[in-house]
Structure 1
């Protein structure tokens, strides 16, 4: 199957689910779809990230530490919200390598707080930072302070809901 051509067609959730099922049936094709995340055509790239996000939910072990780092760097420097969201949602499903990337931590704090980022990026950033707090409890006070000091009226209901859930979870670590 020519995955690049396939990703250029009109897209739907059903279409992506079919593509992902094809990858599960042909695991050797995973590398092909993963590499398309870095395609120069942004449409191909973010759609490939969407497919890889679904793959990461069921088969996170298919992703390597090198790929985690590549995806983190792409998320940090991506200018397209869909590609950024796709990358961070994949990262959320993967084992976080040690040492933890300071650049990723800083980016997650920025994405979480800045209202210029889509709510999905903000929410995944909060969730990633919570996962990092589980690994590195020294970050807990910083994350908690950031979340407690936001002016809730400045953010969406989705942001506030995720914020409240993360604060509850932080109290249990």
Structure 2
């Protein structure tokens, strides 16, 4: 399968799933998918993002060599929102190296606190920040404070994630 050609043809759930199955089959195929995802080409990044998150759901260890690049893409405000959304989606479950936890936590807080960020980005950022903060009452309190500022006007996805974080924070 030529991943670039498949990405150029269309964009659908079935296509993302087919690419994910193919790319999860070997580190070399996943490297090609990641090369496309990190290419900076707007449509290619957008269309490959979903497949990347699906591969990481299947094979979480494959993402480890790309953490520096993922964090850099999250810091890049010009990156396609689909890239941010799918990076944060995969970070909900993928192992996060300790050396990236601080930067990722700060990025998540910034995204949660940005009312112009897409709803899914903010919702996934709440989950990732809470995951990093587990066992740290001060960080959980910060997430509670930041999410609480936005609950009144928040969409359902953000309210649901915030309720989950507030519940976790209350248990500690």
Shared fold (TM-score, shorter chain, > 0.5): yes
- Alignment check: 8 A CA contact 1:8 1:44 kept: yes
Q: Which residue of 2 aligns with 1:156?
A: 155
Q: Which residue of 2 aligns with 1:13?
A: 13
Q: For residues 33 and 151 of structure 1, what CA distance do their matches in structure 2 show? A: 36
Quote the RMSD (CA, aligned, Å).
Answer: 1.9
Q: Which residue of 2 aligns with 1:2?
A: 2
- Alignment check: 8 A CA contact 2:6 2:15 kept: no
Q: Does residue 66 of structure 2 align to residue 67 of structure 1? A: yes
Q: How many residues are matched?
A: 171
Shift of 1:23: 2.1
Instruction: Give the gaps of 5 or more residues in structure 1.
Output: none
Instruction: Give the gaps of 5 or more residues in structure 2.
Output: none
Q: Which residue of 1 aligns with 2:164?
A: 165
- Alignment check: 8 A CA contact 1:119 1:158 kept: yes
- Alignment check: 8 A CA contact 1:72 1:88 kept: no
- Provide TM-score, normalisation by structure 2: 0.88
Q: Which residue of 2 aligns with 1:83?
A: 83
Q: Which has the larger displacement, 112-121 or 93-102?
A: 93-102
Task: Give the ranges of 4+ consecutive aligned residues of structure 1 lying more than 4 Å apart after TM superposition.
Answer: none
Q: For residues 135 and 60 of structure 2, what CA distance do their matches in structure 1 show? A: 18
